[in-house]
Amino acid sequence: MEALEKVITDYAREILAPYEGPQEIQFIENIPLTAIGKIDKKRLRKQLNYILFFYFT
């Protein structure tokens, strides 16, 4: 995963201004989807907030 993370950050540095690039990249196993197959943004936010809560405490 570290190699993929480096590829993504290097690419972002090439095409974005320094302040626009990602500060951190996190990989998740599966993205929650709605019944019709779209990304369920509410459940995704809850999932990411849960991860960040334990990351910073």
- Structurally, the chain folds into a number of domains equal to 1
Of the pLDDT bands very low, low, confident and very high (cuts 50, 70, 90), residue 33 is: very high
Check pLDDT > 60 for residue 47: yes
Residue 30 structural domain: 2-56
Please report, to the nearest 10 degrees, the dihedral formed by the alpha carbons of residues 16, 3, 27, 57 taken in order. Answer: -90
| Residue 49: CATH number of its domain | 3.30.300.30
Tell me the pLDDT tens digit for each residue of 3-26.
998 999 999 999 999 888 888 787
Model pTM greater than 0.85? Answer: no
Of the pLDDT bands very low, low, confident and very high (cuts 50, 70, 90), residue 55 is: low
Sign for the pseudo-dihedral over CA of 21, 27, 39, 57: negative
